[in-house]
Amino acid sequence: MIMTITCSPGKKTESRLLKDSSSDGFTIVETLISIIILTIVLTGGIAIYFNTEAISTMTAHKKIATEIVNLRMEELRMMTYTDFNNQYTLASPPGPQNFNDPNVSPDPALTVGRIPATRTIIVAEDANKCPLSDHKLVGVQVSWTETTLSPRMAGVETCFTP
C-alpha cells in the first residue's frame, strides 16, 4: 500500500510504502492448493516408477527365456540328424507335434526369473518353411506366466537337414 502525504504549497510531497498486514504469509487456501498439486505430481511419478519396474522385469524375463531357448537349440544342432530322428519321431500323418523336452520335462528347476517355466520342442514337416522333403522344422519354446497373470512365450525355430 502506498500512502501519499501532501504538505503545504511549495513543500515536497512524500510517498511511503507501507506494509500491508494481509500479505504476511500464505493463506490456508493457497496451502491446500499447493498440497493438492504436489499430491497429483507425486502420484503420477510413483505410477511411472512402478510401471517402469514392471516393464523392466518382463524384459529381463524375456531375455532369460530367450537364452534358455537358444541354449537348447544349440544343443539340438549338435545332435546328428539320425540321433535327432530317433529321439523325435513324427507320427503319421505328419503334422506339427509337441514334445516335452526329454532332458527337462519333469525338471522343476526350469525358471524364468524365479517363475516356473516349461520348455517344449516342436517338430514338423512344413513344406512352406522347409521346402525339401527330408528337412524338419524344429522349434523350441519356453512358456511362463508373469506375476500379472499374463502368459509369455519365447521361441525360435529352424530347419534341420540330414
Q: Which domain holds residue 106?
A: 65-160
Looking at the 3D structure of the chain, how many domains does it have? 1
First to last CA, the chain: 97
Place of cell 524344429: 138
Residue 130 in any domain: the answer is: yes
> So what's the pLDDT on residue 108?
56
The whole-model pTM stands at 0.63
Helix (H) or strand (E) holding 49: helix 28-78
> So what's the pLDDT on residue 32?
93
> So what's the pLDDT on residue 9?
61
If you average pLDDT over residues 101-129, what whole number do you get?
Answer: 72
Place of cell 525338471: 107
The C-alpha atoms of residue 67 and residue 73 are separated, in whole angstroms, by 10
Q: Answer whether residue 104 shows pLDDT above 50.
A: no
pLDDT tens digit sequence for 20-43: 555 667 789 999 999 999 999 999
Residue 23 in any domain: the answer is: no
Residue 141 in any domain: the answer is: yes
Residue 34 in any domain: the answer is: no
Q: Answer whether residue 103 shows pLDDT above 90.
A: no
Residue 14 in any domain: the answer is: no
> So what's the pLDDT on residue 91?
55
Other beta carbons within 10 angstroms of residue 142's beta carbon come to 26
If you average pLDDT over residues 115-132, what whole number do you get?
Answer: 81
